[in-house]
Structure 1
Amino acid sequence: MGIKQIYKKERLDPGILSILINPYYFIKKNLIAGLRRNSDYVHGIALDFGCGNRGYKDLFATKVNVGLDIKKSGHNHSSENIDIYYDGKRIPFRNESFDSIISIEVFEHVFNLEHILDELNRVLKPGGNILISTPFIWEEHEQPFDFARYTGFGMQHLLETHGFSVINIQKSCGFIETIFQIWNSYVYKKLFCRSKLLQLISIPLLVFPSNLIGTLLAFILPKSKDLYLNLIVVAKKNSSIPSRR
């Protein structure tokens, strides 16, 4: 595996080396760990809602994984492996088509989320699970299609009023890690030069100390999750509530 491949892997799925070179070490490490902890809830025929480049697909042992996205978004889909595009209003599948649904870092980009929750409920089989992650603290991104941030209480209320029962809600990253991750993102985006070669040299010099200090302080100092980066939510479709049409 070449240097570029190693660098790309550590950016997407952080290992030990990632603490040296990954400016998104905290958010990626904790998000992927949280998704893995809940991966057993995803099975059978699964819908990946807002799939993008499907970077998390391999975390789930699904029989079939269908990628759905919208053409009008904040980034270019040309290099992404999307199965079906939809119009942002109606998900183009029959009622009760899927055993599971995943939606990773998508809900903040959905302006009409209550309507889309009805649609997700409609295409999910009774008793089927939905696994969601969405940011709580993060910079605006994919502008102008960044519409919202959700607390655990808000997300639970939305799901429960649209035909789901919440199984668990987890907060990804604590107070200290969140602060260091936001700092890393600022440094990476605003202070690093455009040259890829100079980035490879400068990233370890700036990112590694921040990742290391943040990790040590998060271990030593009192824990708090009043400030966090992401929510990871698992909910089940209520069997007693008919699919909305």
Structure 2
Amino acid sequence: MISLGRLFLPRGLHERMQVDRYPILRFIRTEAIPLMKAGMKVLDAGSGRLPEQTLRAEILATGAELHTLDFCAGEGVDFVGDVTAMPFEANSYDHVLSTQVLEHVQDPAAVCAEMARVLKPGGHLFLTTPQSSPIHNEPWNFFNFTHYGLTLLFEKAGLSVVKKEAQGGHFALLAFMLHWTVRVIQGKDLPKILKVPLILGSKFIFGFCLKIILLWLDQWDKEPTNTLGWNFHGQKPRK
């Protein structure tokens, strides 16, 4: 189905309305990209193919050298491999990115340890992952994480937690779940005469009207426990 927001909203507002993506993009833009400089090496671990590499141009604009690794070959994937056993020497990268990957691996602790291994001393890991998310990319969707669990994984990998932030609060999560109604309806075997109006109505009500109200309310959820997920910034100790 066509995205109504992409058709009618300014690009910046449409991006802001993507409640499951915007907090991640903002986190990488504010926490990671400002630390990237010319000559640095950056690894996007579990990058996906080129259309999924949303911030690729912004990272390359810093002058840093970007390498991408994914389990599946495709356009924009430099290295094909498993994030539990990456084909890189220890202490190779200044920064490692891992956005919405950890929930899809069978051994999250091994992945965190592996990302810590390839980081240079003093290097930074920027990791995002869900706490509350519908099942997706089946059957490769194994875990959701609390910030307590992520802190434990980082500490076991020898990384200090520089910053952790929620991907929105209760109202942002509610906005996402209500908008998910569109996908639920799309997956049902309903008569077309009923299905199309239900989808369009849900997009307008849940994907726009209520979403604006809920995102406005979300600013007052200062310490959320009910959140879409978590953004973590970790650092490898300097020797």
**1:41 Cα deviation after fit:** 3.7
Hey, what does 1:32 align to over in structure 2?
25
Q: Structure 1 residues 18, 48: CA separation in 2 closer, same or farther (over 3 Å shift)? A: closer
In the alignment, the residues of structure 2 paired with residue 90 and residue 18 of structure 1 have an alpha-carbon distance, to the nearest angstrom, of 34
Letter in 1 for 2:212: T
Cα deviation 1:56-96 (Å, max 9, x = unaligned): 3234335111001113xxxxx54x42111114542101111
Q: Does 1:175 align with 2:174?
A: no
Pick from 31, 47, 56 the counterpart of residue 51 of structure 1. 47
Q: Which digits, 9 at most, give the CA deviation of each residue in 1:71-123, with x for residues without a partner?
A: 3xxxxx54x42111114542101111111100110010111121222221111
Tell me how far apart the structure 2 counterparts of residues 30 and 95 of structure 1 sit (CA, whole Å): 30
CA contact (8 A) 1:14 1:29 kept: no
> Within the alignment, does 1:16 sit opposite 2:16 as a pair?
no
Matched-pair identity in %: 21
Compute the displacement of 1:201 (Å): 8.7
SS in 2 for 1:15: helix
Question: Structure 1 pair 15/205, CA: closer, same or farther in 2 (3 Å)?
Answer: farther
5 Å-filtered alignment, 1:31-110, equals 31-38=24-31, 39-43=33-37, 44-53=40-49, 54-60=53-59, 61=62, 63-71=64-72, 78=74, 80-110=75-105
1:74 is matched with none
CA contact (8 A) 1:48 1:65 kept: yes
* Aligned 8 A contact 1:42 1:129 in 2: no
CA gap of 1:99–1:17, structure 2 versus 1, over 3 A, is: closer
Q: Residue 113 of structure 1 aligns with which residue?
A: 108
Task: Say if 2:122 is the partner of 1:127.
Answer: yes
1:40 aligned counterpart, secondary structure: helix
Q: Return the structure number with greater relative CO, CA threshold 8 A, min gap 6.
A: 1
TM-score in terms of structure 2 length: 0.79
Question: Tell me, what secondary structure is at the counterpart of 1:176?
Answer: helix
Note if contact 2:185-2:198 (Cα within 8 Å) is conserved in structure 1.
no
Contact 1:50–1:69 under 8 Å retained in 2: yes
- Paired residues of 2:126 and 2:233 also in contact (CA < 8 A): yes
Partner of 2:238: 239
In structure 1, C-alpha distance between the alignment counterparts of 2:226 and 2:163, rounded to whole Å: 18
The number of aligned residues is 220
SS in 1 for 2:20: helix
Distance 1:177 1:62 in 2: 34
1:137 is aligned to 132
CA distance 1:201–1:29, shift in 2 (3 Å): farther
Instruction: Tell me which amino acid in the other structure corresponds to 1:70.
Output: F
Quote the Cα distance in structure 2 between the aligned partners of 1:132 and 1:180: 23
Question: 1:16 aligns to what SS in structure 2?
Answer: helix
Cα distance between partner residues in 2 of 1:89 and 1:117: 8
Question: C-alpha displacement at 1:179, in angstroms?
Answer: 1.2
- CA RMSD for the aligned pairs? 3.0
Task: Specify the SS of the correspondent of 1:134.
Answer: strand
CA distance 1:173–1:204, shift in 2 (3 Å): farther
TM-score by length of 1: 0.78
Counterpart Cα distance in 1 of 2:196 and 2:15: 13
**What's 1:215 paired with?**
212
Give the counterpart letter for 2:45 in structure 1. F
